[in-house]
Amino acid sequence: MNITANRHKFHYVYRITNLFPVGAERFYVGVRSCDCPPAKDDYWGSSKSLSEAINQQGQIDFAKEILSTWKTREEAVAEEIRLHAEIGVKDNPTYYNKANQTSTGFDSTGLLNSKESNKKRSETMKKFFQESSAAVQKKSETSKQQWKNQEFRKTRSEEMMKSWQDPEFRKTRVKQITDLGVMSRKTYLLTDPNGVNYSFVGGICDGGELKEFAKQNKMDAEMLNSICLGKKIPTEKSKYFGWTGSVVCP
């Protein structure tokens, strides 16, 4: 039993999608344990190839979805195993995953190793994440500067809207949402100033995920709703400057 991982409050399975280029999307399915609500967890996987893609393109081209949440790490890993086997991620060229998770015993966070091997792994991972963090920080600063440009914000928003008009892109995204059994309501799409994409089923009038997201992050739900509906474009003086959004009907 993975005692360390189960000290965390939340355990979930997620999917990250590289949205571009349209028609050639790529995915990553993983498991995660954390102490904050999954929707607020700014974690984008441990895959080196995925991290490189995010660093090169920027998070604006990627979407993270919470597929399921679980009471224990073991249950979450079991679901990851099921999905990996069902999809065949290690042999599927559209997935960044290099191997199928096959057993909770092979989950690296659950292994008991010698002090020497743990220390070596810790040093290796520390170096990897320091390098990745520096690259992400550099990309984040560049992204912030880009989003201050009104023409850039307008262009990126138009690109996203155009993507949703593409039948293949829409088909892929709708399937992802339908797989969760939640395509009965409108889907609200938001992109923050750093280029991080969010998708929510249901707005604020029907007690949907957008309203819950605003509540958890102490944000103005009405403003986020208006941004998605295109009723408001935040100015530089607004705390929501740089946020863009749209709505997709079922």
Positive or negative: CA dihedral 60, 62, 68, 71: negative
Q: Which CATH class is domain 148-248?
A: mainly alpha
Highest mean pLDDT among 5-19, 54-68, 83-97, 102-116: 83-97
CA dihedral 246, 161, 59, 80 (to 10 degrees): 80
More confident residue, 76 or 246: 76
pLDDT per position as a tens digit, 21-76:
777 889 999 999 999 999 888 899 888 899 888 888 877 788 889 999 999 999 99
Task: State both tokens at 218.
Answer: 């102490």
Cα separation, 96 vs 45, whole angstroms: 10
First to last CA, the chain: 42
pLDDT at residue 14 above 90?
A: yes
Question: SS3 sequence, the chain?
Answer: CCCCHHHCCEEEEEEEEECCCCCCCEEEEEEEEECCCHHHCCCCCCCHHHHHHHHHHCHHHEEEEEEEEECCHHHHHHHHHHHHHHHCHHHCCCECCCCCCCCHHHCHHHCCCCHHHHHHHHHHHHHHHHHHHHHHHHHHHHHHHHHCCHHHHHHHHHHHHHHHHCHHHHHHHHHHHHHCCCCCCCEEEEECCCCCEEEEECCCCCCCHHHHHHHHCCCCHHHHHHHHHCCCCCCCCCCCCCCEEEEECC
Superfamily of segment(s) 5-112: GIY-YIG endonuclease (3.40.1440.10)
- Mean of pLDDT over the chain: 74
Q: What average pLDDT does range 94-120 have in this prediction?
A: 62
Amino acid at 204: I
| Contacts for 208 with CB less than 8 Å, ≥ 6 apart | 185, 188, 200, 201, 202
pLDDT per position as a tens digit, 203-233:
776 567 788 778 878 888 888 888 887 778 8
pTM (2 d.p.): 0.47
